[in-house]
């Protein structure tokens, strides 16, 4: 009672494999196109250089790198490998090679600062880093052994490329491990506090990729050409482009970094038909491209942050030949939780993020009473599925606050279901701020603000922004020195965090509103801000 079960069914041939010793890399490789002809199918195309990699080459480079990491570098099962790179043709090879030897993948935004990276290196227990050459300087202070991705002029640093070329794919080790073991540690702030390591197992990934493969099969066509600008360090990009789409033999055009004009060019040049995207890109397409030829486009997905009903409707008016669907997911659920399979339904319900994927159950919990709610009533979304993370790394308290004793993951999102099992995300109860789909943890910015000698107290809240979704705004209580300005505070934070985390607005206040238990009353600040901005 009070439980919503997925109304979708995986076909007989698409069940989630349960063999205990199956690992994610073997699973993905077993799904590659097999016959000689299929092996020449293109897996990846670099949008800038037009360099291509076939499935046969991808398999070969994964095996070679696995052999090189094992025999050459000495990486073993459970060793943590930190990948710091923008999207590149090598990224999927690195992920799959690391996973295939039972090592643990951890990833970060290459825009992160040296101190943010040092924290993650320490927290994850990184043994080896693999870095794009231009980011290596950020890893130097950590003292962690580092491989660069591509060859440089520096003769001392070994590159992944050289390791692949110099290793024998037949020497790839056969490491045995269980589905229940850790595959990756991705970072998310969850419902509260600073970034935490989300432990995702091989089982979590095998489950999500089975679902992704199934949704791709039922909603796309075999010859779809996908465009990738979603970063692979984030679960959305990792699940789709680092691992999942290889299970349907897709061709992926890869952009090293997002640029709107370059995206339009890539769509035209490579006849892109399918784009997993984020709301600011959908908005961009609505606003900016009147004469561009986007006739090849067939399917666009929006996820990672809310897409307004109005923008969805305008997109459909402007591009009536494109199917637009929303999906919803979390790092803690290893990717997608809901999606629209039927496009007619997505079109009729532009505010919904779709139906629960197969194998998911959910509850909608009244925030006041803790009781489960029926359809159309708003409450916190709790979910259960084989994709739900094992725990937060080294943080029992945060784990217990997020996954309860019955295995329900408390998402911190406010939602309701309609009578057809379509899910609507209406607000975020958790602290998390999303800027262009990227996570910003208020607690992290508050700690930095409090380190300023002239700041007594601080709170960071989201402010709605048409382009970026949300921007972080700081409320600051100044020590008696009132010459501290908004600009000085913005600069102080900007010097210490990745650009997407910058505080972009500052309000001065006499006291931060707090509950009796000392918790910041964020909603009160958000309402107060909305009121003053609307004046």
Chain residues in the site for ligand 4UW (CB under 6 A): 188, 235-236, 239, 301, 303-306, 326-331, 335-336, 353, 411, 413, 425, 428, 434, 439
- Least separation in angstroms between residue 340's CB and ligand 4UW is 10
- Least separation in angstroms between residue 358's CB and ligand 4UW is 14
- Least separation in angstroms between residue 437's CB and ligand 4UW is 6
Q: DSSP characters for 5-30?
A: EP-----GGGPPP--TT--HHHHHHH
- Least separation in angstroms between residue 332's CB and ligand 4UW is 7
Is the separation of the CB atoms in 184 and 242 below 8 Å?
Answer: no
Q: 172 vs 429, which CB is nearer to ligand 4UW? A: 429
What are the angstrom distances between the C-alpha of 420 and each of 261, 299, 325, 423, 424? 39, 23, 16, 9, 12
CA angle 275–24–165, rounded 5-degree value:
85
- Least separation in angstroms between residue 381's CB and ligand 4UW is 8
Q: 27 vs 70, which CB is nearer to ligand 4UW? A: 27
Kindly state the helix (H) or strand (E) to which residue 237 belongs, with its residue range: helix 235-237
What gap in Å lies between CA 121 and CA 101, rounded to an integer?
20
Q: 188 vs 529, which CB is nearer to ligand 4UW? A: 188
- Least separation in angstroms between residue 336's CB and ligand 4UW is 3
Q: 346 vs 458, which CB is nearer to ligand 4UW? A: 346
- Least separation in angstroms between residue 234's CB and ligand 4UW is 6
Residue with the shortest CB distance to ligand 4UW: 303
What residues form DSSP beta bridges with 188?
Answer: 196
Q: 252 vs 425, which CB is nearer to ligand 4UW? A: 425
Of 337, 327, 303, the residue nearest 408 (C-alpha): 337
Q: 178 vs 348, which CB is nearer to ligand 4UW? A: 348
What are the angstrom distances between the C-alpha of 291 and each of 49, 269, 319, 508? 25, 15, 12, 45
What gap in Å lies between CA 299 and CA 322, rounded to an integer?
5
Q: DSSP characters for 173-241?
A: ------TTSEEEEEEE-TTSSS-EEEEEEHHHHHHHHHHHHHHHHHHS-TT-EEEE-S-TTSHHHIIII
- Least separation in angstroms between residue 412's CB and ligand 4UW is 6
Q: 91 vs 328, which CB is nearer to ligand 4UW? A: 328
Q: 304 vs 503, which CB is nearer to ligand 4UW? A: 304
Q: 128 vs 356, which CB is nearer to ligand 4UW? A: 356
Question: Residue for token digits 């769509």?
Answer: 267
- Least separation in angstroms between residue 324's CB and ligand 4UW is 12
Is the separation of the CB atoms in 98 and 122 below 8 Å?
Answer: no
**E strands of 24-124, at which residues?**
42-46, 52-54, 80-84, 104-108
Is the separation of the CB atoms in 204 and 388 below 8 Å?
Answer: yes
- The pair of three-digit structure tokens given for residue 378, joined into one six-digit string: 């708003």
């Amino acid at each position: 009672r009070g439980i919503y079960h997925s109304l979708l069914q995986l076909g007989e041939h698409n069940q989630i494999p349960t063999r205990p010793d199956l690992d994610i890399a073997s699973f993905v490789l077993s799904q590659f196109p097999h016959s000689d002809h299929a092996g020449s199918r293109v897996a990846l195309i670099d949008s800038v250089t037009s360099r291509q990699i076939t499935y046969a080459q991808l398999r070969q480079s994964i095996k070679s790198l696995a052999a090189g990491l094992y025999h050459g570098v000495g990486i073993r099962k459970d060793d943590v490998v930190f990948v710091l790179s923008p999207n590149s043709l090598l990224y999927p090879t690195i992920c799959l090679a690391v996973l295939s030897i039972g090592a643990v993948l951890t990833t970060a935004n290459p825009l992160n600062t040296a101190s943010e990276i040092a924290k993650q290196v320490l927290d994850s227990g990184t043994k080896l880093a693999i870095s794009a050459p231009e980011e290596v300087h950020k890893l130097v202070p950590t003292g962690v052994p580092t491989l660069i991705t591509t060859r440089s002029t520096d003769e001392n640093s070994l590159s992944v490329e050289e390791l692949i070329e110099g290793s024998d794919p037949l020497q790839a080790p056969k490491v045995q491990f269980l589905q229940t073991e850790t595959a990756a540690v991705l970072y998310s702030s969850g419902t509260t506090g600073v970034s935490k390591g989300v432990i995702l197992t091989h089982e979590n990934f095998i489950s999500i990729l089975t679902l992704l493969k199934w949704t791709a099969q039922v909603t796309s066509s075999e010859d779809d050409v996908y465009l990738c600008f979603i970063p692979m360090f984030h679960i959305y990009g990792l699940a789709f482009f680092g691992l999942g789409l290889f299970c349907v033999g897709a061709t992926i055009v890869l952009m090293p970094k997002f640029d709107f004009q370059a995206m339009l060019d890539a769509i035209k040049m490579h006849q892109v038909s399918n784009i997993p995207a984020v709301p600011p890109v959908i908005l961009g397409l609505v606003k900016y491209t009147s004469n561009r030829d986007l006739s090849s486009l067939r399917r666009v997905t929006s996820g990672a942050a809310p897409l307004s009903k109005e923008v969805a409707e305008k997109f459909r008016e402007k591009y009536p030949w494109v199917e637009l669907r929303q999906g919803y997911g979390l790092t803690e659920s290893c990717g997608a939780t809901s999606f629209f399979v039927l496009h007619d339904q997505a079109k009729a319900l532009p505010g919904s993020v779709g139906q629960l994927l197969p194998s998911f159950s959910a509850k909608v919990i009244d925030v006041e009473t803790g009781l489960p709610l029926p359809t159309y009533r708003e409450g916190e979304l709790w979910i259960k599925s084989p994709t739900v993370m094992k725990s937060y790394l080294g943080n029992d308290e945060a784990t217990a606050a997020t996954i309860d004793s019955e295995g329900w993951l408390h998402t911190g999102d406010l939602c309701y279901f309609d009578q057809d099992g379509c899910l609507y995300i209406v607000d975020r109860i958790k602290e998390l701020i999303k800027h262009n789909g990227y996570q910003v943890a208020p607690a992290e910015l508050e700690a930095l603000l409090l380190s300023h000698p002239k700041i007594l107290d601080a709170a960071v809240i989201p402010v709605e922004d048409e382009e970026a979704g949300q921007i972080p705004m700081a409320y600051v209580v100044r020590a008696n020195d009132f010459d501290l300005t908004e600009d000085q505070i913005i600069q102080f934070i900007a010097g210490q965090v990745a650009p997407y985390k910058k505080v972009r607005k500052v309000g001065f206040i006499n006291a931060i509103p707090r509950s009796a238990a000392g918790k910041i009353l964020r909603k009160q600040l958000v309402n107060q801000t909305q009121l003053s901005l609307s004046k």
